[in-house]
Structure 1
Amino acid sequence: MDQLTAEFGGARRVGTGVGPVLEKFSGVHRIAVLRGGGLGDLMFALPAVSALAAAYPEAEITLLGTPVHQDILAVTDSPVSRVEILPHAEGVRPGEEDQAAVDAFFTRMRSMGLDLAVQLHGGGRYSNPFLLRLGARHTVGTRTPDAAHLERSIPYLYYQHEPLRALEVAGFAGAYPRDLEARLVPVKQTDYNASTDDGGGAPLVVIHPGATDPRRRWPAARFADLAEACVAEGFRVSVVGDQSEQSLAAEIAAGASSGRVRSVAGSLDMAQLVALLASASVVVGNDSGPRHLAQALGVPTVGIYWAGNIINAGPLGRSHHRLHASWATSCPVCGIDVTQVGWTAPRCPHDASLVEGVPVAGVLDDVLSLAAAGRTGGRA
C-alpha cells in the first residue's frame, strides 16, 4: 500500500476535484450532513451537499442543522431532502444541553439506518464524536490532530475557503464538485413589497450591518454615510437584520439625515427576507449571513471584510461581487496578533472593529458600478 492510499484509509483515489476524489461508497441511500451555525455556515456547506446529491442521486440527504437553516430551506429549492434540528450540545450547537433531548436525537437518527455521515462542522474536536454517535456505516469529515478519527478525513487547517473545504470533504466521499458556491432559488414569490411610499420604482440597495463577531462590523456611522449617499444617487435603502440588530439598524436609519433610509430589521420572516434581497440592485454588508444569502440568490453584493475572512469566506468572482479589505493584523486596543485564531492563540477580550478604516467612497463606487451594470444587463 502506497503512502497516498494509506492516508486515505485504504480508498483508491479516482480523480481530482478541489482535492482528491476517492471511490464512492456502495449502497448509499441515506446521507446525513452535519453543519450547524447560521445562514453563512449553511451557504458554505451547500456546494458540498449538491456534489453529494449528484454522486448519490438515489440517496435522501438529511441536514443536521439549526432552525434558521430549516427556515431558509423551506422557502428555497435546494438538494437537501429534510432538516433535523440539532440538539444543544457543546461545540455543535450553543445552548443549555438537555441530555434527554440529546439521547432522543441520537436514538431517532440511529433508527434511520444512515449509510453515510459527513462532518462539515469545524475541526472535529466535538463534531467528530457527535458524528460517530449517529451509527452511520461510513463517516467522512475534517479533523484536527486532537479530534476523533473518522473513516476518511482531511486535516482541518483554519485558513481555507469554507465552501472549498466542504467540497474537499465531499471529494473524500466520492463526490465531484457541481458548483463552487451556493446557489438558491426561491420556491415561490412572496407578497412582500419592498417599496416605500416615497421610493416609487427607484432601485433598491439593501444594507446588512451586522456580523456574529463584532470585530467584523463596519461602524454604523459608515453605513449611515453610505446609505445617505445612495439616497442622493436615487436609490431606496432598506436596512435588514434580526431582532438583536434592531438598535444597530435604527441607528443607521437615524444617522442618514434625509429620513429616506428605512429599517426593517427584526420585522421580516425568512420568505420576506429572501424576497427583499432578491429584489435589490445591490446588497452591502460585512462578512455575514444575509450577504452570503444574497450572493446565493444571484444578487450583486459589496462586502466589507477583514483580510483573514476573505480567505475563508470571500466570494470567488468579481463580476457581481466586490470586496473592500482591511489589512489590520493586530487588535487596535491591545495590539495582539489577530491573525492567530482558534487553538493557536487566545482571543483578546476587545471587540473593536478591524474594518473601521475601509472608506465609504470606494464602497459607494462599487454600488454604483454594480447597479449600472445590472440596469444595462452587462457586467461591471
Structure 2
Amino acid sequence: MENSPMDLLPGVGPVLEKFSNVKRIAVLRGGGLGDLIYTYPALHALKRAYPEATITLLGTPVHRAVVATTEGPVDLVELLPVARGVHDGPRNGERFDDDAEDVAAQEAFFEAMQAREFDLGVQMHGGGRFSNPFLLRLGAKHTVGTCTKDAEPLERTLDYVYYQNEPDRWMEVAGLAGAPAIIPPPLRPGPDHQQNIAGLRDRRRTSLVVVHPGATDPRRRWPASYFAEAAAGVAREGAQVLVVGDRAEKALAQEVTELAVRLLPEAHREAVRSVAGELDIGDLAALLDEASVMLASDSGPRHLAQALGTPTVGIFWVGNVLNAGPRGRSLHRIHMSWVTSCPRCGADVTQVGWTAPHCGHDDTLIEGIAVADVVQDVLDLTATSLLLRGR
C-alpha cells in the first residue's frame, strides 16, 4: 500500500528500518477506553506499514467492545489475564491485590499466544517494568516498545518519560518498527448502533450536546454542580443535552441532570436528560458521532468523541493536558487547572506514576475553572459544528 504525501505526517521520532516477513503483530495495551484510543494513530500507522499483517490487540473487555462496534485497524482482540502492572484485578484500596493474579490463567494465555508465532510484539503499555517481561513471554521474533531505566529492554526501545503526549508516544514506538506517522481516519460507528440511538435525538432542539461528568480519577472531575450549570446554560440556547456514563456513573449523571433541570425554566426542562448506563460502547460511539459537541472532564468518552471527529470541550488538570490533551484548537477547546498541590494536604501532585505515592486524598484539582467560559466554548464550537455539517 503506497503512502501519498497527504497521508504522511512529520514523525515525532526516527522511523527505523521495517522488519522483514511480518505477518502477525501483537500489541500489548491494557487499561480503559481512553488508553486504547491513545494508541489508534500508531495502530493505523502499523497497519499502513505492514498491510498484509494481522494486528492482534492484547487488551481488556472494553477494548474488545470498541473493536467489535467500530471500524479500525485491529483485526483481533485477546483478553489479558490479570497480571500486575498489565491488567489489574480487584483492588484493595490503591494496592494491587496479589491474590487476584491467576498464575494458571497467565500460563494458559502465554501458551496460546506463543502458538500464534507472532513476528512482531509491540509494547504500548506504560514504561515496561511489568509490561516488557510480559511481552517477551509471547516469544515474538521482534519486539519494540518503551523502557524506563529499571525495565527489561526490548529489541528496539524508546525511553519512557511520563510527561509526553500519549498518541505521540505510541506513534514514536510505531516508528521504531518502521511505521511512518500518518493522519489516521476517524473512527466510524456501526450502522446498527446508529439506528439504536436514532430515537434519542430531539429534532426540535437546534443542536445536541453530550456531557460526560465522570473520570476514573476523582481528582480529574469537575464538580457536578458546575456540569449542571453548564448543561442548563447551553439548553437555554436551544441545545438538547444528554448526560452519559457507565452503570457506575448513573448516580453522578442523575445528580447533574436533576441540578440542571432545577436551573431551567419549564419550557427547557425536557431538554436535559440522563442516558447513563443505558448505552453500550457502540451506542455511545454512535451518539457521540451524532453530537454537535461533547463536554467532559478528561475521560475515555471524551477521547472517543475526538477519535470520531466530534468537537469537544475538555476540563483538564494541567498535567493531563500534557499527556492527553488534544493538540488542535479548531475543533477542541481545553480549560486547564494549574493546581499543583493537593488542596487538602499540600502534597505535590505533579509527581505521578511510580515516582511518588498517591497522598490518599481525592479532592478535585479542577474546581477553579469558570462555568461561563466553558459554556461560551460549547456555544462557539456548536456553531462551528453546525457549519461544518451544513445544518
Q: TM-score surpassing 0.5?
A: yes
Task: Give the residue type in structure 2 aligned to 1:56.
Answer: Y
Three-state SS of the structure 2 residue aligned to 1:53 is helix
Counterpart of 1:336 in structure 2 is 347
Distance, in Å, in 2 between the alignment partners of 1:341 and 1:193 is 39
Unpaired segments ≥5 residues, structure 1: 1-14
Distance, in Å, in 2 between the alignment partners of 1:233 and 1:102 is 54
Task: Give the residue type in structure 1 aligned to 2:242.
Answer: S
Displacement of 1:128 in angstroms is 0.4
Indicate whether 1:75 and 2:78 are aligned.
Answer: no
Displacement of 1:198 in angstroms is 6.8
Which of 178, 182, 185 lines up with 2:188 in the alignment?
185
* 1:185-213: CA deviation from partner (whole Å, max 9, x where unpaired): 12324322355597634311100011111
Indicate whether 1:291 and 2:285 are aligned.
Answer: no
Task: Give the residue type in structure 1 aligned to 2:107.
Answer: D
Three-state SS of the structure 2 residue aligned to 1:20 is coil
Counterpart of 1:129 in structure 2 is 133
Displacement of 1:271 in angstroms is 1.9
- Superposed, 1:1-380 pairs within 5 Å as 17-95=11-89, 96-179=100-183, 183-190=186-193, 191-193=195-197, 200-256=204-260, 257=262, 258=264, 259-260=269-270, 261-377=272-388
Distance, in Å, in 1 between the alignment partners of 2:378 and 2:192 is 26
Matched pairs, number: 364
TM-score by length of 1: 0.92
Distance, in Å, in 2 between the alignment partners of 1:34 and 1:196 is 36
Displacement of 1:269 in angstroms is 1.2
Counterpart of 2:94 in structure 1 is none
Specify whether residues 75 and 378 from structure 1 end up closer, same or farther in structure 2 by C-alpha distance, changes over 3 A only: closer
Distance, in Å, in 2 between the alignment partners of 1:252 and 1:270 is 21
Does the CA contact (< 8 Å) of 2:60 and 2:79 recur in 1? Answer: yes
Three-state SS of the structure 2 residue aligned to 1:83 is strand
Three-state SS of the structure 2 residue aligned to 1:266 is coil
Displacement of 1:275 in angstroms is 1.4
Specify whether residues 134 and 196 from structure 1 end up closer, same or farther in structure 2 by C-alpha distance, changes over 3 A only: closer
Distance, in Å, in 2 between the alignment partners of 1:63 and 1:197 is 34
Counterpart of 1:7 in structure 2 is none
Distance, in Å, in 1 between the alignment partners of 2:191 and 2:240 is 24
Three-state SS of the structure 2 residue aligned to 1:343 is helix
Distance, in Å, in 1 between the alignment partners of 2:187 and 2:104 is 35
Three-state SS of the structure 2 residue aligned to 1:303 is strand
Specify whether residues 120 and 291 from structure 1 end up closer, same or farther in structure 2 by C-alpha distance, changes over 3 A only: same
* Cα RMSD, aligned residues only: 1.7
* 1:75-125: CA deviation from partner (whole Å, max 9, x where unpaired): 111111111111111111111222221111111100001000000000011
Displacement of 1:57 in angstroms is 1.0
Between the two proteins, what is the percent identity of the paired residues?
Answer: 60
Distance, in Å, in 2 between the alignment partners of 1:111 and 1:198 is 51
Distance, in Å, in 1 between the alignment partners of 2:147 and 2:120 is 17
Displacement of 1:24 in angstroms is 0.8
Task: Give the residue type in structure 2 aligned to 1:183.
Answer: P
Displacement of 1:231 in angstroms is 1.2
Displacement of 1:378 in angstroms is 8.4
Displacement of 1:270 in angstroms is 1.7
Displacement of 1:376 in angstroms is 2.4
* 1:192-237: CA deviation from partner (whole Å, max 9, x where unpaired): 2355597634311100011111100000000010111111111111
Three-state SS of the structure 2 residue aligned to 1:206 is strand
Specify whether residues 321 and 215 from structure 1 end up closer, same or farther in structure 2 by C-alpha distance, changes over 3 A only: same
Does the CA contact (< 8 Å) of 1:205 and 1:238 recur in 2? Answer: yes
Task: Give the residue type in structure 2 aligned to 1:188.
Answer: P
Does the CA contact (< 8 Å) of 1:43 and 1:182 recur in 2? Answer: no
Distance, in Å, in 1 between the alignment partners of 2:11 and 2:235 is 45
Distance, in Å, in 1 between the alignment partners of 2:102 and 2:361 is 32
Distance, in Å, in 2 between the alignment partners of 1:106 and 1:187 is 32
* 1:255-289: CA deviation from partner (whole Å, max 9, x where unpaired): 11134321111111122111111111100001100
Specify whether residues 42 and 378 from structure 1 end up closer, same or farther in structure 2 by C-alpha distance, changes over 3 A only: same
Displacement of 1:342 in angstroms is 1.7
Distance, in Å, in 2 between the alignment partners of 1:183 and 1:325 is 26
TM-score by length of 2: 0.90
Specify whether residues 316 and 279 from structure 1 end up closer, same or farther in structure 2 by C-alpha distance, changes over 3 A only: same
Distance, in Å, in 1 between the alignment partners of 2:179 and 2:122 is 12
Specify whether residues 110 and 87 from structure 1 end up closer, same or farther in structure 2 by C-alpha distance, changes over 3 A only: same
Does the CA contact (< 8 Å) of 1:32 and 1:117 recur in 2? Answer: yes
Three-state SS of the structure 1 residue aligned to 2:197 is coil
Distance, in Å, in 1 between the alignment partners of 2:53 and 2:11 is 21
